[in-house]
Amino acid sequence: MTPSPRLLAGTVLSVLAFALPAAAQSTGDTSPIDHVEGQPPATGADSKAAGKPVETEAANAPDQTPAFENQTRAPQPAEMPKVATETVAEGLPHLWSMEFLPDGRMLVAAKKGSMHIVSKEGQAGAALDGVPEVVSSGQAGLLDVALAPDFASSKTILFSFSEPREEGNGTSVAKARLVEDGNGKARLEDMAVIFRQMPSYDNTKHYGSRLTFAPDGALFVTVGERSDRETRVFAQDLASGFGKVFRIDLNGKAMPDNPFVSREGAQPEIWSYGHRNLQSAALDGQGRLWTVEHGPKGGDELNRPEAGINHGWPVITYGVEYSGGAVGEGLTAKEGMAQPVYYWDPVIGPSGMAFYDGEEFPEWKNSFVIGGLVSTGLVIVHLDGDKVSHEERVPLEARIRDVKVGPDGAIYAVTENPSAGSSSVIRVSRAD
Spatial CB neighbours of 56, under 8 Å, sequence gap ≥ 6: 42, 48
Q: Give dist(CA 375, CA 359) in Å, integer.
A: 26
Looking from the CA of 423 toward its CB, the CA atoms found within 13 Å total 28
Query: What CA–CA distance (Å, rounded) separates 124 from 106?
Result: 9
Three-class SS state of 61:
coil
Kindly report whether the peptide bond that precedes residue 346 is cis, defined as omega within 30 degrees of 0: yes
Q: Tell which phi-psi region holds residue 266, choosing left (phi > 0), alpha (psi between -120 and 50) or beta.
A: beta
Whether residue 379 contacts residue 348, with contact meaning beta carbons closer than 8 Å, is answered with: yes
* Closest residue by Cα to residue 185 from 136, 127, 242: 127
The helix/strand/coil state of 152 is helix
Q: What is the Cα–Cα distance from 93 to 88, expressed in whole angstroms?
A: 14
What's the start-to-end Cα distance of the chain, in Å?
Answer: 52
- Please choose, from the candidates 330, 276, 251, 288, the residue with its C-alpha nearest in 3D space to the C-alpha of residue 65: 330
**Which amino acids are annotated catalytic?**
206
DSSP state of 143: E
Q: How crowded is residue 265: how many other Cβ atoms within 10 Å of its Cβ? A: 13
Q: Which strand (E) or helix (H) includes residue 232? A: helix 229-232
DSSP letters, 169-193, are EEEEEEEEEEEE-SSS-EEEEEEEE
C-alpha angle 368/374/380, rounded to 5°? 20
User: Long-range contacts of range 62-69, CB-CB < 8 Å, 24 or more positions apart?
Assistant: 64/318, 64/319, 64/332, 64/345, 66/343, 67/332, 67/333, 67/339, 68/339, 68/387
Sequential DSSP letters for 233-253:
GGGG-TTS-TTEEEEE-TTSP
